[in-house]
Amino acid sequence: MLHMKAGVFTQVDKFEVQEWDKPAIEPGDVLIRVKAAAICGTDLRIFHGKKTKGVRMPSVIGHEVSGEVVETGADVTELSVGDRVCVDPVLPCGECAYCMNGMENVCQNRVAIGYEYDGCFAEYMRIPGKFIKRQNVQKVPDSVSWVGGALAEPLGCVINGQRKLNITPGDKVVVLGTGPIGLMHCMLAKASGAAKVFVSEPNEMRRNMASDYGADILVDPVNESLEEVVMANTGGLGADVVILAIGIPALANDALKIARKGGRVSMFAGFSKGDLPPVDVNIIHYNELVVTGSSSLQRKDLQTALALIESGAIDVDKLATHKFPMDKIEEAFAVAESGQALKVILEG
């Protein structure tokens, strides 16, 4: 059995680079050599024990991935050795009430790569046959980089979130938090016709970079009043759309306050279980706000993301500010949460 290097999640706050057997595949499976594996904010929450559902220890986590097919099972007809692929890591059952009503991303029986199945922080990754049969695996166009293929998944999550917000030409959009996801929200909002995109971000480096990703008005919430800036630039009405793209529930009221009457507010980011700040429900009530959440992505969102990346409408490659070899996973995670990086990529 050939061996591979894997960044193994052995306990909370600890990875170990280990020699593992290269995964054996069954007749319906494929094996990919990981080319780009991106670190997600959710991975950081898993690493610190703040997200536990479906997580095993020891295991290989990571779910934003592109790679080359190096082995196919005897029953696989959809893919061939040499294919460039990326993956929607969330597998819906296709049969529950949510799947039957267009909400496969919140399937009652969903399982996922990086959780129930070993993920991409390793040199090789097995993709089980049921992911292939349900078209969770998409071919990456030759003109799209490995990084672009890996970042199609988080862009798909952003597409899923913005679908619920119905951003239309001329809208004023506020994004709280300019991490990679927040910047993707800026780019997608602009591509959807937003007239003005505001960002609120205390980190000076990230805030200043946002102007390269579609942001028109940059706000330092430590030294400025976000509410005052938004009202001054919307005729005192407030924003059409507000997106909370950082997992700080205490900012929920800030998000609600700056939406216009009838505005749409997305609690997009993942939050730590049990963090329950007070919410001024009167703002929602009297201003007739539409407040929505967002969970993961649907398979169609991955296809849309790849099309946007291939066309050049959204440039995700420039989000990849740091790259590390797979055996430097602990260093990569430290950089990912330092506030000095956007997207950190582990390369195969």
User: pTM of the predicted model, to two decimals?
Assistant: 0.96
- Phi, psi at 160, each rounded to 5°: -60, -45
Q: What is the pLDDT of residue 13?
A: 95
Strands of 290-293's sheet, edge to edge?
Answer: 217-219, 196-200, 172-176, 239-244, 259-267, 290-293
Position 208 pLDDT exceeds 90 = yes
Q: How far apart are CA 313 and CA 39, in angstroms?
A: 23
Q: How far apart are CA 84 and CA 35, in angstroms?
A: 9
Residues 50-99: tens digit of each pLDDT: 889 899 999 999 999 999 999 999 999 999 999 999 999 999 999 999 99
Residues 327-338: tens digit of each pLDDT: 999 999 999 999
Task: Transcribe 215-230 into DSSP letters.
Answer: -SEEE-TTTS-HHHHH
Report whether 279 contacts 252 (CB < 8 A): yes
Q: Strand locations in 12-108, DSSP E?
A: 14-21, 30-38, 64-72, 84-87, 90-91
Neighbouring residues of 338: CB distance < 8 A, sequence distance ≥ 6? none
